[in-house]
């Protein structure tokens, strides 16, 4: 968990709405003011910010999801907060938030230079009412601004992650990516639950990293060689602005539908050595322990080549071929025993000319050179 960010709220706001509410509202006002300064997320005469419950948990790690829901409900009931829905996809239930005129008065700020409502009362705009789900579509110029913002956000994330070198291990890679994001101002949450799966234990799912900055929420899954179907499904169900898949040492020729980008991560050289060994080893059992032993051996490029050559020879041995590979040792055992140093005896090919009898049975036979090759022939009687 990253260290707590210094937050505060105005004393007048705390007296009017409550201490916890003032902390939440202070961040909300900061986010919407930032959107106002950048002229984005303007709807129905107001500037808005949007966030999922998981993203709020990442922003306020000292509160539980239940506490955050209570605080949001309290802010709304006391007239400090408006909640709306402006998502293009009706399945996307990410909520949009805007500070009320009453709250903005404490910050001595208004949106357009005049009070939004002529009578000075706070009325929710049509799209902010709980019963108004869709409403009119956004103007094309507004959509293009949002699209440009998302592309700029993706470019910034891609540039940031292009310099990250990770270990080829799920947990270690997640920690390295999270650290890089947090160092660049992102609020990150690991193993964020997918809201749509919370109610059914059969379909539980968690997102590897959820990162938020400047009002954008990015959901990230980390894989090995190619995008996993399970990761794609989880990302598509998670309410966010951008969905990314990071591959450790892998590439994707096609970006899956609904995924914004697939980014290749640089892998440490020794970790790449391990996976070249693991890909070649025929018995895929207990990968993590094999990885730990491999790391202790400090494998060089030359030693890796020796291991791979020995593996290819041992795969052809009778012992490894019998009983569907039953006698193939685990990779951990093979590495601990330095089995690449074993002398491997490969059986001769099934060829009549190479089936040479042993020395005691050579009577009645002799070698002859035929077409430049020595072969055994049967002696004729009387020879």
Predicted confidence (pLDDT) per residue in 100-138, tens digit: 888 888 877 555 433 333 333 334 444 443 333 333 444
Domain closes at, from 211, 245, 267: 267
Domain closes at, from 107, 137, 167: 137
**Are 133 and 70 contained in the same domain?**
yes
Of 127, 97, 129, 102, the closest CA to residue 116 belongs to: 102
In whole angstroms, give the CA distance from residue 365 to residue 349: 21
**Are 126 and 156 contained in the same domain?**
no
Number of domain units in the chain:
2
**Are 128 and 160 contained in the same domain?**
no
The pLDDT, as a whole number, for residue 258 is 85
- Is residue 288 in a domain? no
Highest-pLDDT range among 61-65, 68-72, 158-162: 68-72
- Is residue 109 in a domain? yes
- Is residue 117 in a domain? yes
Domain closes at, from 137, 170, 194: 137
Q: Is the pTM of this model over 0.85?
A: no
Using an 8 Å Cβ cutoff, are 269 and 168 in contact?
no
In whole angstroms, give the CA distance from residue 229 to residue 175: 23
**Are 51 and 97 contained in the same domain?**
yes
- Is residue 70 in a domain? yes
**Are 45 and 131 contained in the same domain?**
yes
- Is residue 106 in a domain? yes
Per the structure, the complete domain to which residue 88 belongs is given by 11-137
Q: Which CB contacts under 8 angstroms, 24+ apart, belong to 289-295?
A: 289/332, 290/330, 290/331, 290/332, 290/335, 291/169, 293/332, 293/335, 293/336, 294/335, 295/270
**Are 191 and 236 contained in the same domain?**
yes
DSSP states of 133-174: -S-SPPPHHHHHHHHHHHHHHHHHHHHHHTT-EE-SSHHHHH
Which H or E run contains 192?
strand 187-193
**Are 173 and 117 contained in the same domain?**
no
Which H or E run contains 242?
strand 242-248
State yes or no: pLDDT of 175 exceeds 90.
Answer: no
**Are 51 and 149 contained in the same domain?**
no
């Amino acid at each position: 968990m990253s260290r707590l960010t210094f937050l505060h709220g105005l004393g007048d706001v705390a007296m009017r709405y409550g201490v916890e509410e003032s902390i939440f509202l202070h961040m909300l006002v900061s986010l919407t003011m930032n959107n106002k300064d950048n002229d984005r997320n303007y709807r129905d005469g107001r500037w808005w910010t949007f966030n999922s419950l998981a993203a709020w948990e990442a922003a306020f790690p000292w509160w539980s999801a239940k506490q955050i829901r209570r605080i949001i409900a309290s802010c709304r009931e006391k007239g400090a907060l408006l909640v709306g829905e402006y998502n293009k996809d009706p399945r996307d239930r990410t909520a949009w938030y805007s500070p009320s005129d009453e709250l903005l008065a404490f910050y001595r700020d208004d949106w357009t230079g005049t009070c939004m409502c002529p009578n000075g009362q706070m009325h929710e705009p049509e799209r902010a009412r709980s019963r108004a789900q869709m409403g009119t579509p956004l103007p094309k110029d507004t959509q293009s601004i949002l699209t440009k913002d998302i592309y700029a956000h993706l470019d910034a994330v891609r540039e940031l992650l292009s310099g990250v070198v990770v270990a080829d291990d799920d947990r270690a890679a997640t920690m390295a990516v999270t650290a890089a994001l947090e160092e660049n101002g992102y609020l990150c949450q690991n193993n964020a639950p997918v809201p749509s799966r919370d109610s059914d234990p059969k379909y539980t799912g968690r997102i590897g990293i959820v990162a938020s900055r400047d009002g954008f929420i990015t959901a990230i899954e980390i894989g090995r060689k190619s995008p996993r179907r399970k990761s794609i499904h989880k990302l598509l169900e998670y309410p966010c602005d951008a969905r990314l898949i990071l591959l450790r040492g892998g590439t994707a020729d096609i970006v899956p539908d609904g995924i914004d980008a697939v980014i290749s991560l640089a892998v440490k050289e020794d970790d790449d050595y391990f996976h070249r060994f693991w890909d070649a080893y025929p018995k895929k059992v207990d990968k993590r322990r094999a990885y730990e032993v491999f790391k202790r051996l400090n494998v060089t490029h030359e030693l890796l080549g020796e291991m791979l050559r020995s593996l290819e020879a041992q795969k052809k041995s009778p012992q490894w071929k019998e009983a569907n590979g039953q006698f193939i040792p685990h990779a951990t055992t093979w590495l601990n025993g330095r089995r690449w140093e074993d002398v491997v005896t490969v059986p001769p090919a099934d060829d009549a000319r190479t089936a040479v009898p042993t020395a005691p049975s050579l009577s009645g036979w002799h070698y002859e050179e035929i077409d430049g090759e020595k072969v055994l022939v049967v002696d004729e009687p009387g020879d």
